[in-house]
Structure 1
Amino acid sequence: MSADDATRPPRARTRGPYKRSAETRASILAAATDVFTELGYRAGSMREIARRCGVDQSTVLHHFPDKSALLLELMTDRDRQADAVLAAQHADAPEQIPQAALALARHNAGTPGIIELYTLLAAESVTPDHPLGEFFRARIARVRGAFEDWFARMADAGLLRDGVDPDFAAASFLALWEGAQLHWLIDPDGVDVVALLEDHLRLLLHEDVLPST
């Protein structure tokens, strides 16, 4: 290397095609969240998503061949983020499950757009021929099973109050969470999802399981 080379400022690295592709994909997903939240699945169009991204519709179709694929990726990505939050809170340990659940509720409170879209799509999925009907049926069974496992493990660890049935605890906690999120979307200032879930957990768990607030 010459002396001139040593003193010459380093060249700015150009963004590679993979990074540009990932950024475009993320932009499409963000725009799709807004479009489907505002207009619903049937009225939301790939053309409108492309317009909001500032790209051609062909670019959107390159990443997602149709609306079904785009919707599925949005919901799958939501679940990946939720899994990451739970893993970071060590939700595999029974004593950490309550705090992990509350951490996920706090995470959801910080992403109202995707929660609104999830709630909307979940409701729409009960209609005939909805593209995510099978996804939501499988998802609710999976989530219900996970909650039942949570409360069974907490029961085995002696964390539930005497007389609390783990299956009832799981069903009531899941129902409260889903319903409270819907009420929060309608009245954000009047509903605190995290506080409701924490209060419910205090009814189900021994006093020393959750720290005092």
Structure 2
Amino acid sequence: MEFAENGYRGASLARIAERVELSQAGLLHHFKSKELLLVAVLDYRDELDTRKFDLGSAGGIDALRALADVVEHNSRVPGLVQLFSVISGEAVTPDHPGHAWARRRYRRLRADVAAALRTGAERGELRSGLDAEAHADRLIAMMDGLQTQWLIDPDRVDMAAIFRGYVDDLITVLRPV
């Protein structure tokens, strides 16, 4: 939560250690630096999502619905969404310790979503010739943008419902005619 609340630069190892009931030396025994701790937290968040929502085996329409399930899940874990949003925003600068993580994550996510869409086209669930990469980019942009809006105004933005509607509309557009 320290990273989510204060960003990487504003987070304090002393406060993190206190929150997890360790000394700062004890925390640094497990994570040699604040940078390594941040990357471990981010990797752990991604690992949880990957285990819970496997796009690779789903493919096609099931993968699109799995993305909607991810957004639904995220609506129940605002602290993790805030962490992701804060760190992603900070990580746009090349000198940020999360920059390489963010680049790897987005490249992997775009590739996974595009592959799932191509699988759907190969199975005949989605129209052939679709631009899988462009659709993957738009899906990810919609997810991230809705997360930001939801974090800022959760009473007015139902990100899960909005994204599910977007996915339903996309399925309609991408089905073979």
Question: How many angstroms does 1:91 deviate by?
Answer: 4.3
Give the match for residue 101 of structure 2: 135
Cα offsets for 1:36-79 (capped at 9, x unmatched): 12221112111111222332111111111111111011110111
**Match among 17, 24, 30 for residue 57 of structure 1:** 24
> Normalized against structure 1, the TM-score is what?
0.73
Distance 2:167 2:126 in 1: 9
Percent of aligned positions that are identical:
32
Q: Which residue of 2 is the match for residue 75 of structure 1? A: 42
Deviation at 1:123, TM superposition (A): 1.0
Residue correspondences, number: 174
Select the structure with the greater relative contact order (CA < 8 A; seq sep ≥ 6). 2
- Structure with bigger helix share is 2
Structure 1 residues 95 and 113: CA distance shift in structure 2, 3 A = same
Match of 1:104 in 2: 70
Letter in 2 for 1:139: R
SS of structure 1 residue aligned to 2:79: helix
Q: In the alignment, does 2:177 pair up with 1:184?
A: no
* 8 Å Cα contact 1:152/1:167 also seen in 2: no
Query: Which digits, 9 at most, give the CA deviation of each residue in 1:118-160, with x for residues without a partner?
Result: 1111111122411111111111111111111121122222333
Report the secondary structure of 2:163's partner residue.
Answer: helix
Q: Which runs of 5+ in 1 are unaligned?
A: 1-33
Amino acid at match of 1:80: E
By how many angstroms is 1:169 displaced?
Answer: 2.3
> Which structure 2 segments of 5+ residues have no match?
none
Q: Could you tell me the TM-score, scaled by structure 2's length?
A: 0.87
SS at match of 1:205: helix
Matched with 1:144 is 110
CA distance, structure 2, for counterparts of residue 54 and residue 166 of structure 1: 46
Who wins on radius of gyration, i.e. which is larger? 1
CA contact (8 A) 2:143 2:163 kept: yes
Are the equivalent residues in 1 in contact too, given 2:49–2:70 (CA < 8 A)?
Answer: yes
Structure 1 residues 128 and 96, CA, compared in 2 at 3 Å: closer, same or farther? closer
Q: Which amino acid aligns with 1:156?
A: E
* Preserved CA contact (<8 Å) 2:2 2:15: yes
User: C-alpha distance in 2, partners of 1:80/1:182?
Assistant: 22
